[in-house]
Chains A and B, each alone.
Chain A
Amino acid sequence: MSKTLFASRGNLVGLLLLAVLLLVVFPLVFDIFRLNLVGKYLTYAFVALGLVLCWGNAGILSLGQGVFFGLGGYCMAMFLKLEASSPENTKIQSTPGIPDFMDWNQVTALPWFWEPFHSLSFSLVAVVVVPALFAFVIGLAMFKRRVGGVYFAIITQAIAAILTILIVGQQGYTGGINGITDLRTLKGWDIRTDHAKLILYFINGGLLLGALLLAQFVQQTKLGRLLVAMRDKEDRVRFSGYDVSSFRIFVFCFAAGLAAIGGAMFTLQVGFMSSSFIGIVPSIEMVIYCAVGGRSSLIGAVYGTLLINFGRSLLSESFPQLWQFAMGGLFIAIVMVFPDGLAGLYQTYAAPLIARRFRSGRGGGRIAAASTGSRVH
């Protein structure tokens, strides 16, 4: 169909612009400290991408995406922690060779579920598979029984709360409220140096663009259109012979997998992982990143994430009190005034301008105009 062609051409321009911004402009403009910070923000964008598919397109609002971000991050952190806890490094402990927090909590042997994380390949697989599997179990239980809407939101929120309490409570096995800290090397490669941070930033940016492409692919397939269709007309889709629940389970797992990659990249770039990225507050904040970008716009989600986090660091450095007011106001304003977020503003104000410029320039404005109509609802 011609429409898809135009839409993807518009998307391609957007994607290229984003790639230039992430991989060229930011590294040139920011020093390594700031760049590392941007890299941290970009790991949240993975979660926002998943939410675009899950919430924006499929209408499933998960308030527990922090769970998957955290699980991915913990899987990575467990590997790094074990590497940092070699018997030589920990010979002053009463039990050398186990992570320091275990030693402090009178744990004398490595728990069974830590054992496989000695292997890097296992850990990398676990980063994606563990959260996706967890999402699969939740999704299977909920979607097969047709739980959706606000109930799904509340239950995923409860799961986020439960996991936080569990991790904080079991500090001998999880590092408790401090999380897993003091991570040093990845297969002998020191991740704390400026050089390593620069490389990790590019890996993260590359992965994010890859995730964006993948999500865009999913959005444009029949599956993507079915997700939107079952958001709006669930019964019609069901009575066209589709098993609605399996599609929802798929997109929920997909979003969980993306969030988990973000979590793992967070651990690598920031050097620790803790339960404070799992609970209710971070999980719902990730939803607003997606909402600011415009719910069903993938590129918008990345910009939304960046915008809020830049805003936070700017405001909370100078006016710490103001930040929470701003954040609260943002939630309200996005819902009440700008439900289509940045993408909506762009479509209403910027896109017609660009289209006019194109038309007066060389009469090719149909590209932008066509892509305007196709993705907003």
Chain B
Amino acid sequence: MPTQNDFVLSVEDLAVSFDGFKAVDDLTFYVDKNEILVIIGPNGAGKTTVLDLICGRTKAIAGSIKFHGEELTAKTEHEIVRAGVGRKFQNPSIYETLTVFENLEISYPRGRSVFGALFFRTDAAVRERIAEVAEMIFLEDCLSMRAEYLSHGQKQWLEIGMLLIQDPDLLMLDEPVAGMSVGERVKTAELLNRIIRDRSVLVIEHDMKFVEDIAHKVIVLHQGKIISQGAMAKVKADPKVVEVYLGH
């Protein structure tokens, strides 16, 4: 299969195994510009492993991952991030003891080297950008609050904000609406649909209502393999998907 360079992300023939157990096997998919792709599937299907592979946390044993035509498999995590891939973890991973402002400030993509960080100053441009992102993630009134006092949903937004401030081309979100109220979920869908204008988003999610709200395309993963993909309506009707995932 020829690699198409106009895709933001092309994953081809990707495989990884843990002591003989193939967690991801012969996986191929593409993410287009301005597209929200959602990966669904039962627990243990290898969804989080796919994100781990793309962001360099786990090393693949075969296959390639190309981002804007650039191979990612040989890069380290921070190089992948700097290339423009942002990743949110399943449990909100933020700096609890810092304020919302400081959380965003520390994620600001300047002063990333040792000496850069030593002489980093928070100037007007940084403050402006933080205010901009905070508004995007509905936290403009909480800037001076310590992050540990945010609600679970707000923490999820804050982590998304920490990715957004780096302006990545590809945003990978692992269960972004887990633990959110209905209202927060709707706002999150709105947020994703708004930020998609400049980038692509790869989401793992169990919440079918939310998936329907945001997905341009859905991939169903089962035992490390894709069993169905396409538009949500098509996937939902697929008997294989109903059997392994949606049925119960």
Question: Which residues of A does B touch, CB under 8 Å?
Answer: 1, 218, 221-223, 225-226, 228-229, 232-233, 235-236, 238-244, 246-247, 250, 377
Contacts and interface: CB of A to CB of B under 8 A. Distances in A.
Contact of B117 (A226, A228, A238, A377): A226
Contacts of B114: 223, 246-247, 250
B232 interface: no
B120 A222 contact: yes
Given A235-B89, A240-B162, A242-B112, A218 B118 contact: yes
Interface of B: 55, 57, 76-78, 81-82, 86-87, 89, 93-98, 101-102, 105-107, 109, 111-114, 117-120, 122, 162, 166
Q: Which of B78, B111, B166 has the most CB of A within 10 A?
A: B78
B112 A236 contact: no
A221 B120 contact: yes
Contacts of A250: 114
A243 B102 contact: no
Given A223-B114, A240-B106, A242-B112, A233 B93 contact: yes
Contacts of B111: 222
B96 A232 contact: yes
A1 B55 CA distance: 33
Nearest to A249: B114
A2 to B, nearest CB: 10
A239 B55 contact: yes
Nearest to B84: A241
Given A222-B106, A246-B114, A232 B81 contact: no
A225 B112 contact: no
Contacts of B112: 241-243
B34 to A, nearest CB: 23
A91 B96 CA distance: 68
A219 B57 CA distance: 29
Contacts of B55: 239
Given A225-B102, A225-B106, A239 B81 contact: yes
A7 to B, nearest CB: 13
A198 B57 CA distance: 56
A229 B106 contact: yes
The SS class assigned to the B binding surface is loop
Q: Which of A221, A236, A246 has the most CB of B within 10 A?
A: A236
Contact of B118 (A1, A221, A235): A221
28 contacts: A218-B118, A221-B117, A221-B118, A222-B105, A222-B106, A222-B111, A222-B118, A223-B117, A223-B118, A223-B120, A225-B98, A225-B102, A226-B106, A226-B117, A232-B95, A232-B96, A232-B97, A235-B57, A235-B93, A236-B89, A236-B93, A236-B94, A239-B55, A239-B86, A241-B112, A242-B112, A246-B114, A247-B117
A280 B4 CA distance: 59
Contact of A241 (B78, B102, B119): B78
Contacts of A238: 77-78, 81
The SS class assigned to the A binding surface is helix
B8 to A, nearest CB: 18
Nearest to B97: A377
Contact of A222 (B78, B97, B117): B117
A214 to B, nearest CB: 11
A225 B104 CA distance: 13
Contacts of A236: 89, 93-95, 162
Contacts of A246: 113-114
Contacts of B78: 238, 241-244
Contacts of B162: 236, 240
Contacts of A241: 78, 81-82, 109, 112, 166
A377 B97 CA distance: 8
A239 B117 contact: no
Nearest to A237: B106
A240 B162 CA distance: 8
Contacts of B102: 225
Q: Which of B55, B94, B105, B117 has the most CB of A within 10 A?
A: B117
A229 B95 contact: yes
Contacts of A225: 98, 102, 106
Nearest to A1: B122
A244 B102 CA distance: 19
Contacts of B82: 241
Given A222-B117, A226-B106, A240-B166, A233 B94 contact: yes
B219 to A, nearest CB: 22
A221 B81 contact: no
Contacts of A239: 55, 77, 81, 86-87, 89
Contacts of A232: 95-97
Contacts of B119: 221
A240 B98 contact: no
B76 A243 contact: yes
A291 B5 CA distance: 55
Contacts of A247: 114, 117
Nearest to A144: B76
Contacts of B97: 228, 232, 377
- 10 nearest interchain CB pairs? A241-B81, A223-B117, A222-B120, A236-B93, A222-B117, A250-B114, A243-B78, A223-B118, A240-B107, A238-B77
Contacts of A228: 97
A235 B95 CA distance: 11
Contacts of B96: 232
Contacts of B109: 241
Contacts of B57: 235
Contacts of B98: 225, 229
A353 to B, nearest CB: 25
Contacts of B95: 229, 232-233, 236
